[in-house]
Chain A
């Protein structure tokens, strides 16, 4: 799909610029490193700062989650590339209010390296740091090595839990535990019907043949676990939900948060149609949908397709998901 930009190399700087021009009451740039976006209003009393970061191209993930009850700051990387340790450190320094910083990020090599480095640098500066790494994508690693899995749409829900916990004034270790527990009970899987084009590259870096679905494709176009001809929506979600439930093994009668995520080029109507299939499938398994989220949460530029995320709810996680929050990028009206 053709892209609109002024110059491919300026794509990220210009989108960040536009973000700040659109929402000046809520967002501002941190000092100390480029492309670090933080909440415009500082914390009124000391509480844990929740910081994330990652590649551009996945809005609203990551920077779209900067807002009340969500992220305090975010380091914005190049398209599909990790932000630098310096950027992440700048986010921590700018948002810290003396109660420590929680880094929430996805399991990708570059992000792991840079967040780990930033944690060390922050600790050297006297800032207490804890980390929660999200690895919810079941298609990218076996059940006995979940640490190897990629982080995808589960990031948004984990950020929400972390932000809600931090807003209660809880200490760092409690915020970390709440987010980590929620992330640990989260599983996702994506289905792509096509690829996306990086404006800086100008052509698709991988192909999905028309009429084919790539089950388990990653949000940077990492190859699918399996290719199959496009099937009716209910059949597709049936397979996906079965795979997720087999992996997650929720307790009998458990409540689940369900997130249907559009990858960028799938209409809202289809996302709700897909949600219907997921909802019916879960009911057939005797599982209760506690909360539903349908929309674009972790896109991959203009990739056609969707992902399903299931998070098993306990009382605390459910309470945190229900907490009020506000990010200008996420609001409807």
Chain B
């Protein structure tokens, strides 16, 4: 039986907090090195808020909106702002859903992609978080169309995100501070893309664990 959405989101947040150092180092290659710290601060606050939420409140939309609001106000980075906006969009679109089934997962990742592309102005291949989220959204949608169980859909999304993030190693940046450091960053994956991949993998692991139980 799949874990409650709040528990899955908390587990995913914990993964991001745990890779703070790695993200900081990656971000230092192509930015000012604060991405890991920003994600850690933001997602620690998310864990705190979701943990104190009433156990009965498992409205996925409400949880996503809460995550978005918390990130917007606590994660002091462009990625924190973009994820905050993305989760809030996802929250609006998934209001009333009470479980993380494949369709919900697909719509959630898609909302992130749409909002971040709109706000940040980047497109696929620009070496940003979208290079992980875009493939993840496609993979999740394909899984949902096949009516795969949630843990299978999430795993497919995580794999696609991980491949997409790895693919950023050879992309020259065209947006943000990484664009100024094109040559230095070659061979190193984009920290934002890695963060997204870690988050989705964290979600997938939590759903898989719940399914085994």
The answer to whether B32 has its CB under 8 Å from any CB of chain A is yes
Known: A77-B76, A84-B81, A201-B34. 10 other contacts (CB 8 A): A80-B32, A81-B34, A82-B81, A85-B72, A86-B72, A109-B78, A109-B176, A205-B33, A221-B32, A223-B180
Q: List 19 A-B contacts (CB under 8 A).
A: A77-B76, A80-B32, A81-B34, A81-B77, A85-B72, A109-B78, A110-B77, A112-B121, A113-B119, A114-B81, A116-B119, A117-B85, A201-B33, A205-B28, A205-B32, A220-B32, A221-B32, A222-B177, A223-B184
The answer to whether B18 has its CB under 8 Å from any CB of chain A is no
- How far, in whole Å, are A198 and B121 apart by their CA atoms in the complex? 28
Interface residues of B (CB under 8 A from A): 28, 32-34, 72-73, 76-78, 81-82, 85, 119-121, 175-177, 180-181, 184
Contact B119 A78 (CB under 8 A): no
Q: Which chain B residues border A53 with CB–CB below 8 Å?
A: none
Contact with B along A265-302 (1 / 0, CB 8 A): 00000000000000000000000000000000000000
- How far, in whole Å, are A116 and B121 apart by their CA atoms in the complex? 12
What's the A-B contact tally at a CB cutoff of 8 Å? 54
- How far, in whole Å, are A223 and B178 apart by their CA atoms in the complex? 10
Interface residues of A (CB under 8 A from B): 77-78, 80-82, 84-86, 109-110, 112-114, 116-117, 140, 198, 200-201, 205, 218, 220-223
CB proximity of B125 to chain A, nearest CB, Å: 17
Given A81-B34, A81-B76, is A113 in contact with B120 using a C-beta cutoff of 8 Å?
A: yes
CB proximity of A209 to chain B, nearest CB, Å: 15
Closest residue of chain A to B79, judged by CB?
A110
CB proximity of B153 to chain A, nearest CB, Å: 30
Q: Which chain A residues border B76 with CB–CB below 8 Å?
A: 77-78, 81, 84
Given A110-B81, A114-B81, A201-B32, is A222 in contact with B180 using a C-beta cutoff of 8 Å?
A: yes
